[in-house]
């Protein structure tokens, strides 16, 4: 942008040449510039004023051309002096300038893209920048951005109840910007503590003793912030209060062990060794539907977005359309495995199945056509999870394998469990596995995906509390919940950890016992 008034007088090139020949400018030379002593002060002032008067009469283009020629005649140290003089002239404090033009919202929007470190620095620039940040509530907006994009931040906001101060318009109920400025480092400290607890195995342990009267064992579970729903070997489904750990409800109807389950806000869907799939109403526990298709035990199931996939000891996979809990119809049966199909998972692109025949098979979700087989495990595969391009599987060869589903390549083999790997889950940071050796292992997922990472660095921690085989687990940023053949459900809490000198990996536990009637 150019400032000033443009004056367009016709000035001959000879005038510019005469100025360049003036005694106040050194003569152009191909060799080094020879410094010249300044003439008497009086002559210099007169010549300078004359040059400026002529300069002011030229067009902007002529002025630029003249200055370029002038600079070319100077020596290096003069260039440096001019550079230092121009630098502050070329800088523009746009954050201060925008509010002066009534454009505060643009200044706020620009600064809202800064991270925490940059926002701290911006507050120190000047009082006007500090005012824009404060009145724009930019620390609040930074925290809201993190809560929207990071599940750990979202979970902390819910558990520590500062979410009630977020995502609200400026009202009297919203604290000032300074509150959010002081809140930010506290959140960072909480996150660092949680990460350290995961790495060091520090946790608070809660234990639910199911005390089944007949056959013991908790085969499957799922939880949310309010409840834990578990499927037991004694044919029942038990719903537990997540806070008090009391048994709220028992669902009965299956005539065999409940081997798998999944629920959403409306229904619980369970699969059993009695070969049936049952659909239950979440709040009342009423049976809404019973699906009779498989010839042997239903070993696993998944449902989402109107589609359900079940698999069975009968070696088949059934794909179902779920129009409603009472309107479920069989779409297709997938056959290809040569042994029991132990686990399935799917998304909009692929259905993935794993079997006792040592293979993982990939099928098209839309067409149900076979796509490819992943080979590598030495023995039967008991568990897997699939998300994006990554498949993570656990086997009775005691190993965990990571696969690229698109090309079928095995990316990494994790070794450490001493018996069959029965259950496995992963998120963006970790893999958590449970095995028949009674151990739960936490692995570094990002390191496992890096071929340069040494195998010895991949297992972050081994957790040992179960006295029997680990059948199922689920985890989030703050906890692991696991179930076992020992008839217990364990809650490993990495957020609310006692600091009263407990040793690493072992924390004081609370035990809750349920006696069946």
Tell me the chain's radius of gyration from C-alpha atoms.
36
- The H or E element spanning position 414 is strand 409-415
C-alpha torsion 29→35→39→40, nearest 10: 160
Could you tell me the two tokens for 486? 């020992």
Contact yes or no for 327/352 (Cβ under 8 A): no
- Say yes or no to pLDDT of 512 above 80: no
Tens-place pLDDT, residues 15-50: 555 555 544 444 444 444 444 555 555 688 888 888
Tens-place pLDDT, residues 226-280: 999 999 999 999 999 999 999 999 999 999 999 999 999 999 999 999 999 999 9
From CA 393, how far away is CA 352, in angstroms rounded?
11
Q: Nearest-CA neighbor of 227 among 217, 241, 237, 214?
A: 241
- Say yes or no to pLDDT of 86 above 50: yes
- For residue 378, give Cα distances in angstroms to 381, 401, 407, 449: 9, 11, 20, 21
Q: Provide the pairing of β-strand 470-475 with 459-464.
A: unpaired
Tens-place pLDDT, residues 323-337: 999 999 999 999 999
Could you tell me the two tokens for 78? 């003069």
Tens-place pLDDT, residues 176-201: 889 999 999 999 999 999 999 999 99
Spatial strand order of the sheet with 287-292 comes to 258-263, 267-272, 276-281, 287-292
């Amino acid at each position: 942008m150019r400032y000033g008034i443009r004056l367009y007088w016709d000035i001959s090139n000879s005038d510019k040449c005469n100025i360049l020949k003036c005694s106040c400018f050194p003569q152009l030379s191909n060799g080094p510039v020879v410094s010249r002593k300044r003439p008497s002060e009086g002559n210099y002032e007169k010549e300078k004023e004359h040059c400026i008067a002529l300069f002011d009469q030229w067009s902007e283009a002529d002025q630029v051309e003249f200055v370029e020629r002038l600079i070319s005649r100077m020596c290096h140290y003069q260039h440096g002096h001019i550079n230092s003089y121009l630098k502050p002239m070329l800088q523009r404090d746009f954050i201060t300038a925008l509010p002066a033009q009534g454009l505060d919202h643009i200044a706020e929007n620009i600064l809202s893209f800064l991270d925490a470190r940059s926002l701290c620095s911006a507050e120190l620039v000047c009082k006007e920048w500090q005012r824009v940040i404060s009145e724009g509530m930019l620390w609040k907006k930074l925290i809201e951005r993190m809560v929207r994009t990071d599940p750990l931040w979202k979970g902390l906001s819910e558990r520590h109840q500062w979410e009630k101060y977020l995502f609200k318009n400026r009202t009297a109920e919203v604290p000032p910007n300074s509150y959010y400025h002081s809140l930010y480092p506290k959140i960072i400290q909480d996150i660092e503590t949680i990460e350290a607890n995961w790495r060091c195995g520090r946790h608070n342990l809660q234990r639910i003793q199911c005390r089944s009267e007949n056959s013991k064992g908790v085969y499957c579970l799922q939880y949310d912030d309010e409840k834990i729903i578990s499927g037991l070997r004694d044919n029942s489904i038990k719903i537990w209060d997540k806070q008090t750990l009391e048994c709220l409800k028992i669902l009965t109807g299956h005539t065999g062990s409940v081997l798998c389950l999944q629920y959403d806000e409306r229904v619980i869907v369970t699969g059993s060794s009695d070969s049936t799939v049952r659909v239950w109403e979440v709040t009342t526990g009423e049976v809404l539907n019973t699906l009779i298709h498989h010839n042997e035990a239903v070993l696993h199931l998944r449902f989402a977005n109107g589609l359900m996939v079940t698999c069975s000891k009968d070696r088949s996979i059934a794909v179902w359309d779920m129009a409603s809990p009472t309107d479920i119809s069989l779409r297709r049966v997938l056959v290809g495995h040569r042994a029991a199909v132990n686990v399935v998972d799917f998304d909009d692109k692929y259905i993935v199945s794993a079997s006792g025949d040592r293979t993982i098979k990939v099928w098209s979700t839309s067409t149900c056509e076979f796509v490819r087989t992943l080979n590598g495990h030495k023995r039967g595969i008991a568990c897997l999870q699939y998300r994006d391009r990554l498949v993570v599987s656990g086997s009775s060869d005691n190993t965990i394998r990571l696969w690229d589903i698109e090309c079928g390549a095995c990316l990494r083999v994790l070794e450490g469990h001493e018996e069959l790997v029965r259950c496995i889950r992963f998120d963006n940071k970790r893999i958590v596995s449970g095995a028949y050796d009674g151990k739960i292992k936490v692995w570094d997922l990002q390191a496992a995906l890096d071929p340069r990472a040494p195998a010895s660095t991949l297992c972050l921690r081994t957790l040992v509390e179960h006295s029997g085989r680990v059948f199922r687990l689920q985890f989030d940023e703050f906890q692991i919940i696991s179930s076992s053949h020992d008839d217990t459900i364990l809650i490993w809490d990495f957020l609310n950890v006692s600091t009263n000198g407990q040793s690493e990996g072992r924390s004081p536990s609370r035990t809750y016992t349920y006696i069946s009637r």
